[in-house]
Amino acid sequence: MLEHEAKRLLRFAGIDIPHGALYSDVAGNAWPAVIERYPVAVKAQVHGGGRGKQGGVLKADNAIAATEAARQLLAASFSGEQPQSVLIEPWIAVQREMYLALTVDGRADGYVLMYAPRGGMEIEESAPPLRYAIGTPQRFRGHVLRGLLEPAEPDYRVREKVIVLAQRLVELAASHDCTTVEINPLGLLEDGSLVALDARIARDEWAAFRNADIARLVGEEQGRADARLLACLEMKHMYVRLDGDIGLISGGAGMTMAAMDMIAALGGHPACFLDASPGPTSARGYRPAINMLDADPAVKVILVSIFGGGTQMQRVAHAMKDLMAERASTKPVVFRLDGTHVDQVPEILAQFGARNHDSLESAVAEAVKLAGRTA
């Protein structure tokens, strides 16, 4: 979600936000009438993080400077995305910037709340925030959070307000299918009030079937995706880009995570999480995944690790044979296919000069070695 969309949800949950206005077209639209007092912050509305460090937030002391700042931001690009709108808000003087976030964590069987007495752009370099493993929303306890906050937050008035905000974040996340709600910075004003100066919210796309807002957001995200990613989505592949160089195609989220962990354990770096379940058995099913990784310049090696009980491995092997024949890329591909009719796989792979590894560890070891050679 964009910042202004996230803040709309925060306001709905009873959390104070600056009173701002959205502006999208410097040439064609009049300057928002609600902007009466200056200075203001002009903020590019983009989906990626790190906007502030990239110059995506500008201060303007008057309407002329604000118009020029908006024009500048709308013409710029941040992490490869050009903003379609800017958010104009009062430039608020704060006594202190803090950090407050709620996210889903499997280790907590639900939500984890995080708080730091210092926030803002340098949160990554500051001490790790304290964590309150809540779990399900019903398990939130104010007295537990109060005890955790006492060593980190000496001001009892701030502690009590953070507890109230935390409870509202939990209620917001549960009622709107949010996987992450982050307020950074959370501003402490001179009068003691807390205001969400910036916000980021991620919502569970798998809840789109029951939530029209999420369905709209998923549609907008897919509209921004390139053709290769859209082809993967059409095949129901789950793709998450990482920062490594070993492209992984696997079947099942658990198997994919296991392969990623093994890549890291053997000294490699996964380039993606690409779950190709529920087990396509044709070249058409796997083609988008292969095309995606072939086109990624950071990927040096592709590892195909598929295990199937109901999926017949000889059919997967035939699909790979067809795909390898049509590839233009020379990136090496390592195979580990295991499951039903796996005894037929070695002969099929041998027809195009490949071999099937007997274990995932063996396949990962070769992929890591090849990635190192092509560095």
Tokens of 152: 């980190």
Give the per-residue pLDDT at 150.
Answer: 95
Q: What is the pLDDT of residue 213?
A: 83
pLDDT at 269: 93
Could you name the CATH architecture of 19-90?
A: 2-Layer Sandwich (3.30)
Domain limits, the chain: 19-90, 96-207, 225-373
Is the Cα dihedral 170, 172, 175, 180 positive or negative? negative
pLDDT tens column, 219-248 = 666 555 566 666 666 667 778 888 899 999
Q: Beta 199-203 vs 194-196: how paired, if at all?
A: unpaired
Q: What is the CATH number of domain 96-207?
A: 3.30.470.20
225-373 falls under which CATH superfamily?
A: Succinyl-CoA synthetase domains (3.40.50.261)
* DSSP result, 169-236: HHHHHHHTTEEEEEEEEEEE-TTS-EEE-SEEEEE-GGGTTT-HHHHHHHHHHHHHS-HHHHHHHHTT
Of 286, 290, 353, whose CA–CA distance to 316 is shortest? 286
Residue 234 has what pLDDT? 66
**Which phi and psi (to 5°) does residue 237 adopt?**
-75, 145
Q: What is the pTM of this model?
A: 0.66
Is the Cβ–Cβ distance between 335 and 354 less than 8 Å?
Answer: yes
Residue with tokens 């402490």: 188
Same fold, 19-90 and 225-373: no
Residue 375 has what pLDDT? 42
Average pLDDT per block of 10 residues along the chain, 375 residues long: 94 94 72 76 89 92 91 89 92 94 91 93 79 96 96 94 97 93 96 96 83 74 60 70 90 87 94 78 84 90 88 91 94 94 95 95 96 66
Backbone angles phi, psi at 233, to 5 degrees: -65, -40
Among residues 326, 322, 332, the alpha carbon closest in space to that of 355 is found at 332
CA dihedral 335→340→341→346, nearest 10 degrees, is 10
pLDDT at 188: 97
Model pLDDT for residues 279-329, shown as the tens digit of each residue = 566 788 888 889 989 988 889 999 999 987 778 899 999 999 999 999 999
